[in-house]
């Protein structure tokens, strides 16, 4: 490798690792050792390299989101303007040095590819500004638009910066930028440990984004992950995340004695052929419109979900309300078999079970006409209720085959029979 290629490789590696001061020192040493070539192609390239260091450092510190110092008769010194000015200078340098000699060819090639890199940086600045404005001016993030924008930038510059000396800065345009910087920095208990965080703002934000994505995906794929590891390993893995969402849901469910907490995905309108490879000639599998993504506790999914159909119906009916991100939408169940909390069952049926001497005062209006006994949550019936003599009204004489008779009619008939038998005994 020539001396010029070795220098460029070392310089751009330092720039990619955000070692700004070290990169400036490297350029100054090279300029001191090449005083005779200051007016040549190599010397002119060295004049522009410190500007790249300054621009990259400002980019890493999110300098493009700071207040612009532009006004009347004042030069625009925004980061985007700095990049555009640097791109124009490198373009002129490319035209001046092309076809001169071997060093000039190297300078022209590097200048051309640096222009491609700067173009990508300007597009990324527009992307971050768009995302920032979207988050401040609207409560709903248009993630699909942002995804299409960043995918277009990556696809456009996939083959750019192919020079070996520019591989380091090209890495910063890919998804491995955070990992690359993290592996290159050796953080320890040094003199700067108790000082403020010296890491660039963009790096800190990318690390937080990565942690947030890992935490959310760990929640969404908790069922699949739990099948690949033991409960102890799962607790250890989840505890290492920035936020253990599943543990929070589990604690909330246990604290408030909730029957179950479900996260349901509305897959209507999404294109998905299912998991795994599918032959092109084979049609897509029909997937449920409302698959259950997360269920706490897991044993709830093993039972018959008598409530799931009602939940899906309410999601369809109140879809417009669910689109409001800042509003909590809830539905109060009016039928006894849809209420999850045990206390609700006790309140509704207290006048039937607690007062044995006043059975004539049973309020049948509390029960809906289409409520069938087979829907009654027997697992939520207390031991006290099981010992009651009135349980025969529910179990002993229930006609499972008579689907035409509703709940009220059969209950009224049983109460009338029991009242008639008591009258006969008294007489």
Q: What is the pLDDT of residues 30-59, one digit of tens each?
A: 888 887 766 788 888 999 999 999 999 888
Mark which of 328, 353, 378 sits at the end of a domain.
Answer: 353
CA proximity to 303, closest of 234, 250, 245, 378: 378
Residue 361: the pLDDT is: 40
Q: Which domain holds residue 152?
A: 3-67+74-192
Judgement on whether residues 92 and 237 belong to the same structural domain of the protein: no
More confident residue, 191 or 155: 155
Judgement on whether residues 305 and 158 belong to the same structural domain of the protein: no
Judgement on whether residues 89 and 153 belong to the same structural domain of the protein: yes
Rounded to an integer, what distance in angstroms lies between the CA atom of residue 295 and that of residue 26? 57
Mention every residue, 6+ apart, whose C-beta is less than 8 A from residue 37.
43
Query: Cβ distance 56 to 48 under 8 Å?
Result: no
Residue 308: the pLDDT is: 78
Judgement on whether residues 240 and 107 belong to the same structural domain of the protein: no
Residue 87: the pLDDT is: 93
In a domain? residue 421: no
Mark which of 333, 353, 373 sits at the end of a domain.
Answer: 353
* Number of C-beta neighbours around residue 85 at 10 A: 15
Mention every residue, 6+ apart, whose C-beta is less than 8 A from residue 134.
141, 142, 146
CA proximity to 163, closest of 94, 224, 232: 94
Mention every residue, 6+ apart, whose C-beta is less than 8 A from residue 73.
none
Ramachandran assignment for 18, one of left (phi > 0), alpha (psi -120 to 50 degrees), beta (any other): left
Residue 129: the pLDDT is: 86
pLDDT higher than threshold 70 for residue 202: yes
Q: How many domains does the chain have?
A: 2
pLDDT higher than threshold 80 for residue 301: no
Query: Cβ distance 225 to 233 under 8 Å?
Result: no
Helix (H, G, I), strand (E, B) or coil at 263: strand
Judgement on whether residues 85 and 123 belong to the same structural domain of the protein: yes
Q: What's the pLDDT band for 115 if we cut at 50, 70, 90?
A: very high
Q: What would the mean pLDDT of 407-420 be, rounded to a whole number?
A: 72
Mark which of 161, 192, 223 sits at the end of a domain.
Answer: 192
Instruction: Please give the backbone phi and psi of residue 28, each rounded to the nearest 5 degrees, phi first.
Output: -65, -40
What is the average pLDDT value for the chain, to the nearest integer? 73
Pairing mode of beta strands 292-296, 261-264 = antiparallel
In a domain? residue 365: no
């Amino acid at each position: 490798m020539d001396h010029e290629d070795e220098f460029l490789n070392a310089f751009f590696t330092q720039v990619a690792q955000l070692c700004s001061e070290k990169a400036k020192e490297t350029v100054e040493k090279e300029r001191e050792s090449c005083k005779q070539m200051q007016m040549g192609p190599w010397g002119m390239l060295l004049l522009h390299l410190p500007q790249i260091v300054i621009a990259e450092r400002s980019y890493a510190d999110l300098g493009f989101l700071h207040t612009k110092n532009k006004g009347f008769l004042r030069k625009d010194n925004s980061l985007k303007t700095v990049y555009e000015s640097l791109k124009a200078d490198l373009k002129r340098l490319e035209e001046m040095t092309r076809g001169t000699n071997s060093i000039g060819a190297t300078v022209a090639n590097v200048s051309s590819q640096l222009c491609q890199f700067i173009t990508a940086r300007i597009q990324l600045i527009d992307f971050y500004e768009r995302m920032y404005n979207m988050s401040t001016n609207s409560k709903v993030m248009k993630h699909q638009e942002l995804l299409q924008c960043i995918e277009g930038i990556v696809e456009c510059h996939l083959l750019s910066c192919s020079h070996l000396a520019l591989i380091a800065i090209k890495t910063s345009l890919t998804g491995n930028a955070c990992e690359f910087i993290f592996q290159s920095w050796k953080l320890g208990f040094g003199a700067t440990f108790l000082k403020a965080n010296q890491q660039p703002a963009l790096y800190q934000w990318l690390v937080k984004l990565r942690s947030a994505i890992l935490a959310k995906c760990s929640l969404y794929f908790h069922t699949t992950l739990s099948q690949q590891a033991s409960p102890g390993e799962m607790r250890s893995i989840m505890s290492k995340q920035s936020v253990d969402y599943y543990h929070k849901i589990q604690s909330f469910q246990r604290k408030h004695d909730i029957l179950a907490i479900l996260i349901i995905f509305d897959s209507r309108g999404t294109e998905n052929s299912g998991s795994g490879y599918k032959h092109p000639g084979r049609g897509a599998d029909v997937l449920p419109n409302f698959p259950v993504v997360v269920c706490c506790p897991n044993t709830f999914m093993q039972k018959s979900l008598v409530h799931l159909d009602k939940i899906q119906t309410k999601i369809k009916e109140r879809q417009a309300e669910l689109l409001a991100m800042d509003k909590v939408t809830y539905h109060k169940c009016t039928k006894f078999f849809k209420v999850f909390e045990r206390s609700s069952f006790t309140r509704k049926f207290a006048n039937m079970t607690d007062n044995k001497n006043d059975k004539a005062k049973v309020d049948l209006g509390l029960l809906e006409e289409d409520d069938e006994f087979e829907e009654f949550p027997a697992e939520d019936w207390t031991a006290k209720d099981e010992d009651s003599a009135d349980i025969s009204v529910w179990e002993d004489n229930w006609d499972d085959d008579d689907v035409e008779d509703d709940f009220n009619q059969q209950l009224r008939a049983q109460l009338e029979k029991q009242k008639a038998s008591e009258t006969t005994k008294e007489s």
